[in-house]
Amino acid sequence: MKLKIGTARLQALLNKAVKGAGCNKLIPMTSLIAVKLSGGTLTLTTTDATNYLSLIEKEVEGDEFYVAVQVDLLAKLVAKMTCDEITLEVADNALNVIGNGKYQLDIPLEDDGSFVKLPNPVENFKKTKKIGTVDSSVILTSLTSIKPALATTMEYPWFTCYYVKDRVVATDTYTVADYAKGFLDEAKLINTNVMDLLGLFTDEISIYVDNDKMLFENEQGVVYAVVPNGIENYSINDIEGLVQQEFNYSCVIVKSALLNLLDRISLFVGVYDNGKITLSFGNDGLEVVSKYANETINYTNAENAGEFTCSTDINTLITQVKAQSGSEITIEYGKDNAIKIIDGDITSVVALLED
């Protein structure tokens, strides 16, 4: 069994495929990649033992082919190849990778001597219920602007996931990020690792559900995912209430200028300050104050500005300002609980600290 493929094509595929591998030493299959050629279509599959990524490349020359080998070694080897084409050949229980030279990768064997195969749960998935489609641009915006608001600890595991229906929402209970371009007909939680995998695709993705499993599919590949538990704990109505609340004042500020200011101020926020800074909104500009520093930035639009003073965490504020994609951002303020940052379809809510 062997196949031949352009080196650049294989490198591009493996660069993506490794992102689906969990590489958990306690679960051997998470360190493998399944390489399958059937009818001229090459499929590369990796898994973290819960979710599966399969990448598809058509018009590949070779025999009917299936082998599973160590993903890390194969990817690193192919990345270092400078030849035009690579041949993968199975012989004597080894995968020969032939390019600049000939390299042998061991093929894991079952107890009966047969080749190890990765499970293929996609085969049992019933594609009878389609619940949405999504353009790759929506996924990429979610990864850029919504992901920074996800919880990173497991006190509330559902908050480590995206809430998706007619909006894409993330929260760590201190900040909320809301994207007004959801893509599902029914509400689901999507694991952060799954959303990362969807970011590998560049075409529109069709989405199906089968009980507690989801399938994301286009011509470039498939992501098979288990739906996380806990959506009933997400309190989406309360979260959306924070996003929709009206504020007394608003101003428009150049994003890069505000980030530069916060970067300078951060040098004077000590370890005992708990990240706290004071924001003094005026009629024409915003003064940012720490214990040993202060700086003012002018608004580019002060039509609805007013005077208001509050405190927040500087690192959280920096993260949420960075997450916005536009050159200017609108900040709404005047409430005691939060400020709101708006950039087109993206809304971020940042909680305030007690003075």
pLDDT digits (tens, 9 = 90+) for 100-114: 999 999 999 988 888
The dihedral region occupied by 314, where left means phi > 0, alpha psi between -120 and 50, and beta the remainder, is alpha
| Residue linked to tokens 């929709």 | 244
- How much of the chain exceeds pLDDT 90, in percent? 95
Judge whether residue 282 has pLDDT over 80. Answer: yes
The pLDDT score that the predictor gives to residue 354 is 86
pLDDT level of residue 73 (50, 70, 90 thresholds):
very high
Please determine, for residue 98, whether its predicted confidence score (pLDDT) is greater than 80.
yes
| pLDDT score recorded for residue 92 | 85
**pLDDT one-digit tens code per residue, 201-239:** 999 999 999 999 999 999 999 999 999 999 999 999 999
Q: Alpha carbon 158 to chain centroid distance? A: 15
Tell me the whole-structure pTM to 2 decimals. 0.93
179-193: average pLDDT = 97
Mean pLDDT value across residues 308-337:
96
What element of type H or E holds 88? strand 85-91
Q: Supply 311's token pair.
A: 């405190």
Q: Is there a contact between 247 and 333 (Cβ–Cβ < 8 Å)?
A: yes
Which of 53, 335, 98, 93 is closest to 194 using CA atoms?
Answer: 53
| Domain 245-351 grouped into CATH 3.40.30.10 | no
Q: What percent of the chain has pLDDT over 70?
A: 100
- Helix axis angle, 255-266 to 314-322, nearest 10°: 150
Q: What is the pLDDT of residues 152-182, one digit of tens each?
A: 999 999 999 999 999 999 999 999 999 999 9
Residue 201 CA to its chain's centroid (Å): 12
Q: What is the pLDDT of residue 269?
A: 93
**The two domains 2-119 and 130-234 share their CATH topology (first three levels equal):** yes
Query: Confidence band (pLDDT; 50, 70, 90) for 270?
Result: confident
Domain boundaries, the chain: 2-119, 130-234, 245-351
For the chain, the average pLDDT equals 96
- What's the CATH code, domain 130-234? 3.10.150.10
pLDDT confidence of 136, banded at 50, 70, 90?
very high
Distance of alpha carbon 245 from alpha carbon 68, whole angstroms: 53
Class for the domain spanning 2-119: alpha beta
pLDDT at position 355 is 72
pLDDT reading at 272 higher than 90:
no
Q: Are 278 and 333 in contact (CB under 8 A)?
A: no
- Provide the pLDDT for residue 302: 95
